[in-house]
Amino acid sequence: MLKRLLRLQRYQKALLIALADTGLVVASLWVAFSLRLGEFYLPNGNQWLLFLAAPLIAIPVFIRLGLYRAVIRYIGHRAMVTVGYANALVALLWSLLPFYINRFLELELFSPRSLPFIFWMVLCISIGGSRQMARWFVSGSFRARRGNHVLIYGAGEAGAQLAMSMAPSAEITVLGFVDDAPELRGQQIAGYPVLGGRDVIGALKLDYENLEVLLAMPSASRQQRRDILNALESEEVAVRTMPSLDQVALGRSDMTELNEIDVTDLLGRAPVEADTQLLGSCITGQQVLVSGAGGSIGSELCRQIIELGPRRLVLVEHAEFALFAIEQDLRKRCVQQQLEVELVPLLGSVLDQPRMLGVMSRFEISTVYHAAAYKHVPLVEQNVLPGVINNVMGTRVMAEAAIAAGVRQMVLVSTDKAVRPTNTMGASKRMAEMVLQGLQQRVAPEQTRFVMVRFGNVLGSSGSVIPLFKRQIAQGGPVTVTHSEITRYFMTIPEAASLVIQAGSMGEGGDLFVLDMGEPVRIADLARRMIRLSGYRVAAPEQGGIDIHYSGLRPGEKLYEELLIGDAVAGTQHPRILVARETAPDDAEMDAALERLRQLADAQDVAGVRQLLLEQVDGFAPQCEIQDWLVVAGRSPKESEE
């Protein structure tokens, strides 16, 4: 029956409600007379005119005030206020009826003076109550709920809004609120009880196996959120969270939008605060170019750059879809935030020197952020020549084009894997740093400044372990970690992009900046926390958990990363940004090395390229034999196994 009603057309549903309201209005008037007179009232004679006129007055008023446009399933506080206004207007108009009928038709109709007020109160109960009853019935409040049982952590305004948004769902049962404020215990919020503090979650977990906790504290500090997550981790309940207030204010999220736990809350490191003066120094009112604009770091650089007010932003990207995606994203942001930035999306390779020079000259670029690079360690290990040529020669091409076009500063996005590298990718990034260090000896900083920025792993990037762990947990495991003791430095993509921008403003020429990233994180510990906060135990599948599988170090991978080659490091005007004092190569020697690299690449000599890296990059100690597909394909099976 209910399903048939729900399938009716909109006008058919409105007609049914209007018919029901007709009966309720007549019944409400009869109840009002009975209450006023204190007896069971039976109208007689001309009194029936008042009962017939009541729905003739009420239904047009209800239509005019939109009572039949509201969707019953989602009717809320504002709609109920409108019901109250409509009922008051009906009672007022009806109260004038006996006066005019008695005056113009000379019919005696009985209507006590206090009756309209009683009529209004009864109407509010009947008309408003009928809609609430229909809402509860349609939304499944009178039916057995199935699906997840949820607790809302945080009994504030955000939690109440979240509870009301989930009330109509038949797939979710809201058990109530959890809040650490003792004065709220036992109170009712949005119709749900405050069950107590976080100590009640363990007991509820025993009763509801699929219990999920929704963290509704968007204004909480990162430390507060971290403390709560530490407490929830031991309960092995799934946790999701509402977005922060700044994300809501920027229009990036909705208050009722639920996200997976922000992994930055689990890392134990406070975010790096930005210096607003440094951010805009090389961008505001200027022409800026970002290479690799569609990548993880490049795209975030673009998002932050447009908010700093450049006159023009040139996007250079060799992948068509990635360029299209970031351009559409940036144009949407410009409209939303009313930003007047000229966006120039350009397809092209950083190895195309004529095109890069033409782009920088034509658009009068003043700052270049060079984020284009191959960075996936195993893939570069298996494709040595494209990886090294792109990372090293691409940097050289961009730098020479910048010099020729009169670019004031160029900032290279580097990596902690460039420090005493154990893989080809890291060695190629260190050699890219050396290219800029060598060129700075030839070019005065007043002409073009070259700056390099090193940082650790970036959360959420295409090469990060975090998205991989999330997919593996969603699939039921196992979660793969290469080694039980492997550690990494972590930072968020916005932090990394902000650091790159600020470092470009501080550099004096040939500077190599690193971030004080705190203590490194054990990947295995991070995997355990993600499993527990997804509602699972770290255990074998037959024991109802998700297991961690140690797959062994990949080719070129090391247990820990470093940010400095030596100990010579100095502070800067930013408390969390350091500048490394590392030996710079001679420019003439770098020219000779790059010429040799070109010849080896033309000859497809993978072994020669590795030998060149061994000679040029201090501390390069490859952990594996050459893994390049072209070389491995020529080996015998026995040689490949070795």
Reply yes or no: is the peptide bond before residue 55 cis, omega within 30 of 0.
no
Q: Which helix (H) or strand (E) is 451 found in, with range? A: strand 449-454
| Buried/exposed 56-92: b ≥16 CB within 10 Å, e otherwise | ebbbebbeebebbebebeebeeebbebbeebbbbbbe
Q: Which DSSP symbol is given to 534? A: B
Higher pLDDT, 276 or 150: 150
Domains of the chain, start order: 2-139 (no CATH), 148-261 (3.40.50.720), 276-616 (3.40.50.720)
Closest CA to 283 of 355, 197, 369: 369
Q: Report the distance separating Cα 433 and Cα 415, nearest Å.
A: 10
Cβ neighbors of 588 (< 8 A, separation 6 or more) are none
Question: And the tokens for 519?
Answer: 């203590």
Please state the separation of Cα 513 from the chain's center in Å: 28
Residue 249 has pLDDT above 50, yes or no: no
SS3 content of the chain, % helix, strand, coil (to 5): 50, 15, 35
Closest CA to 305 of 497, 461, 504, 455: 497
Question: And the tokens for 141?
Answer: 């409040």
Question: Please, which pLDDT band fits residue 537 given cuts at 50, 70 and 90?
Answer: confident
Out of 77-81, 116-120, 254-258, 540-544, least confident range: 254-258
Query: Do the beta carbons of residue 308 and residue 276 sit within 8 Å?
Result: no
- The tens digit of pLDDT for each residue in 409-453 reads 999 999 888 888 889 999 999 999 999 999 999 999 899 999 999
| 321-340 average pLDDT score | 94
**Strands, sheet with 172-178, edge to edge from the N-terminal-most edge strand:** 188-189, 192-196, 172-178, 148-153, 211-215, 238-241, 259-260
Residue 529 has pLDDT above 70, yes or no: yes
Q: How many CA atoms lie within 13 A of 171 on its CB side?
A: 1
Query: Do the beta carbons of residue 295 and residue 302 sit within 8 Å?
Result: no
Query: Hey, CA dihedral for 627, 633, 634, 635, is it positive or negative?
Result: positive
Closest CA to 34 of 102, 97, 119, 91: 119
Q: Report percent pLDDT > 90 for the chain.
A: 29
Q: How many CB atoms lie within 10 A of CB 614?
A: 12
- The tens digit of pLDDT for each residue in 167-209 reads 666 567 788 888 888 888 888 887 788 888 888 888 888 777 7
